[in-house]
Copies of this chain bind each other. A is one copy, B any other.
Amino acid sequence: MPPARKFKKEDIINAAYEIVKEEGFVGVNARRVAKELGCSVQPIFHNFATMEELHKETYKKIYAKYQEHMKNGAKEEKKAYLKMGLSYIKFARNYPEFFKAIFMQKTKMDAESFVTADTEENDVIKVGQTMCKLSYEEQKKFHVKVWIFTHGIACLVATKTVVFSDEEIEVLLKESVREMLKGYVGGKEN
């Protein structure tokens, strides 16, 4: 029987994950990962046929992290919008390299990944609780707008183009969602 693996797939992915967190995918190469693990490059190519495979697996872990992050942030039923938006932006700030990898760079990984778009429907339903006045279609349109706004902040934060504090972000988003909703409903009435 063979000797036990000293460096398992998971270990290697974790090392790559940490590198991406600091430097993005650019920093992930065989020797760099090996150094992180304190081993040679062999365990890496033994566990993964190619570096691209490791990249993909690492991406999956990163995407899972994103999903976990969002799940934790969106527990509440009240103010689901605000909570989700804040989570999204917080992710962009705490894990800028992850955010950039997922949302700001089109790569092969995205195409092959499992980014299910089902969240949108759920979000719209949640919002329905807050915005009874609007039809489903209107809610959807409104949802898109809020999402765009949130994404805008998150991108600015991830690239450190602007530096917002937690409080500033909360105020900005809260105000904007309120105003957008008010403006949207108002627009209908006028």
Interfacial residues, chain A to chain B (CB-CB below 8 A): 100, 103-106, 144-145, 148-153, 155-156, 159-161, 172, 175-176, 178-184, 186-187, 190
- Cα distance A161–B117 when bound, in Å? 12
Cβ–Cβ < 8 Å partners of A160 in chain B: 106
Interface centre among A148, A160, A180 (most CB of B within 10 A): A148
Pick the contact of A176: B145, B150, B153, B175 (CB < 8 A).
Answer: B145
Given the known interface contacts A104-B104, A105-B159, the answer about A176 and B180 at a Cβ–Cβ threshold of 8 Å is: yes
Given contacts A176-B180, A179-B186, A183-B178, contact A148 B153 (CB under 8 A): yes
Give the shortest distance, in Å, between A151 (CB) and chain B (any CB).
5
A interface, over-half SS = helix
C-alpha spacing A104/B159, complex, angstroms:
7
A49 → chain B closest CB, angstroms: 24
List 5 A–B pairs whose Cβ atoms lie within 8 Å, in order of A's numbering. A106-B160, A144-B172, A145-B176, A151-B152, A182-B190
Q: Which residue of B lies closest to A179 (CB)?
A: B183
Contacts of A149 in B (CB 8 A): 145, 148-149, 152
Given A104-B104, A180-B179, A187-B182, CB of A151 within 8 Å of CB of B155: yes
Q: Which residue of B lies closest to A181 (CB)?
A: B183
CB distance from A180 to the nearest CB of B (A): 6
